[in-house]
Amino acid sequence: CPSVTGNDTKRNRLESSAWRLRMNQES
């Protein structure tokens, strides 16, 4: 996989957290 910058990693982590919270609310 391509290397990602610190900002991309942070943004991806935030998106993952938001996605996880959304899934928890749906259940």
Does pTM top 0.95 for this prediction? no
What pLDDT, in 10s, does the model give residues 1-27?
667 677 778 888 999 999 999 999 987
In whole angstroms, what is the distance from residue 27 CA to residue 5 CA? Answer: 33
**Which two tokens mark 10?**
């942070």
CA separation for the pair 10, 19 (Å, rounded) = 14
d(CA 9, CA 16): 10
